[in-house]
Amino acid sequence: MAENIIINSTHLPSIRVGKLQAKYSADGTRVLRYYIDFWHDQLNAHKVLTAPELYLLQGKVDALISAWDQKADALATKNQVLSGKEAAETATIDAQNKLDLLPYILEHTLKIDDRIDWDSLKNKGIYKKAKFTTPRPRNDIPDRPREIIPTISVWAHLFGQAKKKRVTAENQNKLNLENWNSAVQNNELTFQAAFNLWEKEKKAFESTQAQLEHNFQTQQAIQNAKIDALAAGVNNGEIDSVIEHASLVLERSDYGDFFDKSFQIEYQPENKILMLEYTLPSPDEMPTVKQVRFIASTGEMKETHISEKEKKANFDLVCYQICLRTIHELFEADEMKNIQEILFNGITNYIDRTTGQETTSCIMSVLVDREKFMAIDLSRIEPKACFKSLKGVSAASLSSLAAIPPVIELNKEDRRFIEGRATIDHMEHATNLAAMDWSDFEHLVRELFEKEFASRGGEVKVTQSSSDGGVDAVAFDPDPITGGKIIIQAKRYTRTVGVSAVRDLYGTMQHEGASRGVLITTADYGPDAYKFSTGKPITLFTGSNLLHLLEKHGYSCNR
């Protein structure tokens, strides 16, 4: 409000008002006219309003503000539409990029060396010592007092005052010197005490840093020795090492955020066959959006999807490419020729539209010989035709999700279980769960859940292979009501775990005939993961839950 003028606007923060001014008559007794300035920052507008009476001026102000409000509303709507259109265009580009990448899944791996560089896996970091920042105490010695030299005038000599003045000056100099010596001694005592304390703190700090550096180097040496041992095991064709090497290769295979990789591996050294059960993307997870439009009238985004025919074609194309790409990666990385043949069983988890139930089916299977496969020029083939030429088994269309009998079925009996080892008692407070060696983390979870089940006689066993360096274990709980066979899987991730991991666990539970499943992550889960697990015998363990369970049993670490 400018004095008696009232401004009512829905865009008041954008409006600036000048000072109300008046033009008076020559004798200064009456107002001839009122003036007032208005600015609208949003519209970049300026207006001077005048009127002979305030009520008339108020009417002009109301009309101006109303007109400006309408223009500002229209501008806001226009900006909203433009913003919505920009967002729609960005979403369309993103959607189109996802669709455009689907035909290049196989081509991507041909540009990459899939061999494992063992040296690059080693921790070559140098421990960065913290600096002792407490400043060294200072011994601030006060300035020595100046000697007082008395001024003796002729009159002082005449009247016998010279001697008295000299004695007074000498006494004062002596007192000043004594006070200064006392202050110097006190400062020295204070400084020495502060210095001794500082030196003690410095030595303690340096001792702690030396211990931390030693711990770092010891842990580094242990981790690097494990890599050397793994490399040696691969060179010697040891079963566990070959399996872990294959896991490393497949985990390094970058599909972006297209899907979460999950697989199980077996190895038969006698005939050098690597058998792989690989979880393919679910048809429901395939990208289908091709365009996004902004509807100005409702302010909503409307998606346009590709046709059903295109969806099915894309699903088939993706699955055949993943199969061939995975086989290529494993053969190329196998420098020691431990693998002569690879069995690829592709499974997928989906919702059976006839029953509404979660279903897991093997939809493709192929057994490939190294020499025959490596002779193929993958840059020039048609994926499905190549798969069929390798005697691959699948339905005419993978998108039909028709289950097929695999060429060879992986043996998932209890022979998978390996001997457990103690890990949990060697943890330190600074141990980072997400950065632990996969094998140590595997056994840590086994020990932790063994302690949890110990009170009722439960048992937890760790399997010899896992899909992502995380645990894949089975617990046997003897409780007649709540017990049974419990599948335990873990994702040693720093990123959010998606719904596909929960679907994989549920499929494994059904396949194994388990009564319950436990999924453990060092991170957290997305909303779709929680939604899918609702109503199912699945427990989702977050990194925080895992730390809490460790603390319950007397252990402390971080993530």
DSSP string, 417-436: EE-----GGG--TT-BGGGS
**For residue 76, what pLDDT is reported?**
82
Interior CA angle at 472 toward 470 and 478, to 5°? 140
Residue 405 belongs to a domain: yes
Q: At what angle do helices 239-252 and 162-235 cross, to 10 degrees?
A: 110
Q: Are residues 276 and 260 in contact, defined by beta-carbon separation less than 8 angstroms?
A: no
In a domain, 98, yes or no: no
The answer to whether residues 346 and 319 touch, using CB atoms and an 8 Å cutoff, is yes
Query: So what's the pLDDT on residue 2?
Result: 52
pLDDT band at residue 426 using 50, 70 and 90 as cut-offs: low
Q: What is the pLDDT of residue 407?
A: 86
Q: Given 365, 381, 411, which residue is the final one in a domain?
A: 411
Residue 79 vs residue 3, higher pLDDT: 79
User: Residue 456: which pLDDT band, with cuts at 50, 70 and 90?
Assistant: low
For the segment 532-549, the average pLDDT, to the nearest whole number, is 88
Predicted pLDDT at 103: 95
CATH classification at residue 83: 3.30.160
Which residue's entry shows tokens 């580094």?
A: 220
Would you say residue 246 lies in a domain?
A: yes
**Which whole number is the average pLDDT over 346-372?**
89
Lowest mean pLDDT segment, chosen from 274-278, 421-425, 445-449: 421-425
**pLDDT given for residue 267 in this prediction:** 93
Region 115-124 average pLDDT: 92
The number of beta carbons lying within 10 Å of the beta carbon of residue 498 is: 19
Residues 6+ apart with CB under 8 A from 234: 241, 242, 245, 336, 338
**Count of the separate structural domains present in the chain:** 4
Residue among 296, 247, 321, 252 at smallest CA distance from 87: 296
Averaged pLDDT score across all residues of the chain: 85
- Do 389 and 450 fall into the same domain? no
Q: Is residue 106 part of a domain?
A: no
248 in the same domain as 271:
no
**Confidence at residue 468, expressed as pLDDT on a 0 to 100 scale:** 46
Domain stops at, among 219, 252, 285: 252
Confidence check: pLDDT of 280 > 70: yes
Question: What's the number of CA atoms in the CB half-sphere (13 Å) around residue 14?
Answer: 18
Is the per-residue pLDDT at 211 higher than 50?
Answer: yes
Q: 360 has which bridge partners?
A: 349
Average pLDDT over residues 481-506: 81
Residue-wise pLDDT tens digits, 55-107:
888 888 998 999 999 988 888 877 777 777 888 888 888 889 999 999 999 99
Alpha-carbon span 507 to 491, nearest angstrom: 16
Residues 248 and 266 in one domain: no
Q: Could you give the CA distance from residue 502 to residue 350 in angstroms, rounded to a whole number?
A: 12
Residue 56 covered by a domain: yes
Q: What is the pLDDT of residues 35-67, one digit of tens each?
A: 899 999 988 899 888 888 888 888 889 989 999
Q: Mean of the pLDDT values across residues 400-409?
A: 87
Residues 243 and 280 in one domain: no
Instruction: Give the pLDDT score at 186.
Output: 92
| Domain assignment of residue 172, yes or no | yes
Q: What is the pLDDT of residue 348?
A: 92
Q: What CATH number does residue 443 fall under?
A: 3.40.1350.10
- How far is residue 474's CA from residue 490's CA, in Å, rounded to a whole number? 12
Low-confidence winner among 107-111, 148-152, 234-238, 537-541 (lowest mean pLDDT) = 148-152
Average pLDDT of span 31-38: 89
Question: Region 535-541: what's the mean pLDDT?
Answer: 90
Q: Is the pLDDT of residue 554 over 80?
A: no
**Is residue 426 located within the same domain as residue 406?**
no
Is residue 99 in some structural domain? Answer: no
Q: Are residues 279 and 363 in the same domain?
A: yes
517 and 394 assigned to the same domain: no
What is residue 256's predicted lDDT score, i.e. its pLDDT?
82
pLDDT attached to residue 435: 64
Task: Name the CA dihedral angle for 386, 95, 285, 298, rounded to a multiple of 10 degrees.
Answer: -150
Instruction: Count CB neighbours of 134 within 10 A.
Output: 10
* Structural domain for 496, as ranges: 415-552
The winner for highest mean pLDDT among 175-179, 233-237, 497-501 is 233-237
Instruction: Report whether pLDDT(428) > 60.
Output: no
Q: Which of 411, 426, 443 is the last residue of a domain?
A: 411
Which pLDDT value is given to residue 481?
63
Q: Of residues 422 and 22, which shows the higher confidence score? A: 22
Residues 270 and 396 in one domain: yes
Same domain, 431 and 461: yes
- Out of 72-86, 283-297, 424-438, 541-555, which region has the weakest mean confidence (pLDDT)? 424-438
Distance CA 138, CA 195 (A): 8
Confidence of residue 415 (pLDDT cuts 50, 70, 90): very low
Residues 150 and 68 in one domain: no
The answer to whether residues 232 and 285 belong to one domain is no
Instruction: Enter the DSSP assignment of 298.
Output: T
Q: Report how far residue 400's alpha carbon sits from residue 363's, in angstroms, rounded to the nearest whole number.
A: 9
102 or 416: whose pLDDT is higher?
102
Q: Which of 142-156, 354-368, 452-466, 542-556 has the lowest mean pLDDT?
A: 452-466
Residue 389 falls within a domain, yes or no?
A: yes
pLDDT of residue 464: 55
432 pLDDT band, cuts 50/70/90, is: low
Q: Is the pLDDT of residue 425 over 60?
A: no
What confidence tens digit (pLDDT) does each residue in 312-328 have?
999 999 999 999 999 99
The percent of residues above 70 in pLDDT, for the chain, comes to: 89
Helix (H) or strand (E) holding 300: strand 300-305
Which helix (H) or strand (E) segment is 39 a member of?
Answer: strand 31-40
pLDDT cut 90: percent of the chain above it: 42
Instruction: Please indicate, yes or no, whether residues 43 and 160 belong to a single structural domain of this protein.
Output: no
Lowest-confidence pick of 52-61, 387-396, 432-441, 465-474: 465-474
